[in-house]
């Protein structure tokens, strides 16, 4: 995604709150779900038309405002007065559980990276301005409470010492051209990242107050311009999207598979995000489509296995993810 801001529609016909919208009274996790990990059927999108993160129920009609379960953007009242200039093009949203509490992990191309309590949306475990020119694209929380951030234009992956305070700016950095995604692999104790030409597994060493990053595994991409990297639920593989393809990487062998189930509709050009629901096995993707006024956006989230789609009126969606913690 480029740093230039697109022209926005003056009228947005879909009634979604610009501030925090809480789930309906009495809403609970799906039967059989851990309440700390989220509901089976909710999807989170980064909507750049509304400058907000929105969680929607895939069992509802997205033309109906009742499909919106939660939405968020930083405000002064929520404790982000010092970071409001760093919000305007949200490009990442994940649900993570840390020490039995749920958090929204989000980045914005204008420089904000944050870990925000969910569902309150108020305050932050950690938040910072990591640089508008760096174009942060992804974020992850580590077991020691530190936070990893990937920045595509900056060409780096950093680990910020979030464990030391909610505005800690201390960090260690791994130079990595085109860094677009970060994912913590608990089983291997590796921080995976994808850039322009490689997938790299980073070992996080040192201490919580003084971390280090060391590349331990490197896999050359079959096609350039890596974009997303997420776990494949139920398999010891990683989703990896590039500028033109979508693969499943076997981290044990370094083989990028393109013969996986559903590849005929998932493996297409320009996929910005790809995730699998750990409960249902359904995969969702986003890719730019014409008509949004944004060259890297779509208004439609596409589902695979089984096939379905949901369109959010007047939206500029960059990424979408299942609103669950896959780890």
Show the tokens assigned to 234: 């139920």
Q: What is the pLDDT of residues 72-117, one digit of tens each?
A: 999 999 999 999 999 999 999 999 999 999 999 999 999 999 999 9
Q: What is the pTM of this model?
A: 0.89
Cα distances (Å, whole numbers) of residue 125 to 118, 187, 292: 11, 25, 34
Q: What pLDDT was estimated at residue 40? A: 78
DSSP letters of 178-220? T--EEEEETTTTEEEEE-SSEEEEEEEEE-SSSEEEEEEEEEE
Backbone angles phi, psi at 176, to 5 degrees: -155, 100
The CA distance from 319 to 321, in Å, is 7
Closest CA to 89 of 128, 120, 122, 132: 132
Q: What angle do CA 215, 221, 222 make, to 5 degrees?
A: 155
Asked if residues 110 and 137 have their Cβ atoms less than 8 Å apart, the reply is no
How does residue 38 score in pLDDT terms, banded at 50, 70 and 90? Answer: low
pLDDT, tens digit (0-9, with 9 covering 90-100), for 304-326: 999 999 999 999 999 999 999 98
Average pLDDT, the chain: 90
pLDDT in tens, 193-207: 999 999 999 999 999
Token pair for residue 37?
């990990």
Contact 12, 50 (CB under 8 A): yes
**pLDDT (0 to 100) of residue 326:** 85
Looking at the predicted structure, is the pLDDT value of residue 274 above 70? yes
Q: Tell me the β-bridge partners of 187.
A: none
Determine the Cα–Cα distance for residues 106 and 8; give it in Å rounded to an integer.
22
Query: Given 3-state DSSP classes, what are the helix, strand and coil percentages for the chain, each rounded to the nearest 5?
Result: 5, 40, 55
């Amino acid at each position: 995604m480029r740093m230039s801001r697109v022209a926005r529609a003056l009228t947005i016909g879909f009634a979604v709150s610009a501030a925090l919208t809480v789930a309906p009274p009495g809403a609970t996790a799906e039967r059989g779900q851990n309440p700390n990990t989220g509901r089976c059927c909710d999807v989170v999108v980064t909507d750049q038309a509304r400058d907000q993160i929105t969680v929607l129920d895939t069992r509802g009609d997205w033309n109906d405002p009742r499909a919106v379960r939660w939405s968020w953007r930083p405000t002064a009242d929520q404790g982000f007065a010092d970071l409001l200039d760093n919000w305007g093009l949200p490009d990442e949203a994940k649900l993570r559980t840390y020490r039995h509490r749920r958090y929204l992990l989000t980045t914005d191309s204008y420089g904000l990276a944050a870990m925000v309590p969910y569902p309150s949306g108020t305050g932050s475990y950690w938040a910072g301005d990591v640089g508008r020119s760096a174009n942060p694209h992804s974020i992850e929380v580590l077991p020691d409470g530190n936070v990893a951030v990937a920045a595509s234009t900056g060409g780096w992956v950093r680990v910020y010492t979030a464990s030391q305070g909610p505005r800690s700016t201390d960090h260690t950095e791994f130079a990595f051209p085109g860094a677009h995604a970060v994912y913590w692999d608990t089983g291997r104790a590796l921080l995976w990242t994808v850039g322009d030409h490689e997938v790299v597994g980073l070992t996080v060493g040192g201490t919580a107050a003084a971390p280090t990053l060391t590349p331990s595994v490197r896999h050359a991409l079959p096609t350039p311009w890596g974009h997303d990297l997420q776990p494949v639920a139920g398999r010891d593989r990683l989703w990896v999207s590039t500028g033109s393809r979508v693969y499943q990487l076997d981290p044990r062998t370094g083989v990028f598979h393109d013969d996986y189930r559903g590849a005929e509709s998932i493996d297409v050009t320009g996929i910005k995000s790809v995730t699998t629901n750990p409960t249902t096995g359904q995969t969702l993707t986003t890719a730019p489509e014409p008509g949004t006024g944004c060259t890297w956006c779509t208004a439609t989230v596409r589902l695979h296995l089984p096939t379905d789609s949901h369109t959010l009126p007047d939206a500029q969606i960059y990424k979408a993810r299942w609103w669950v913690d896959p780890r």
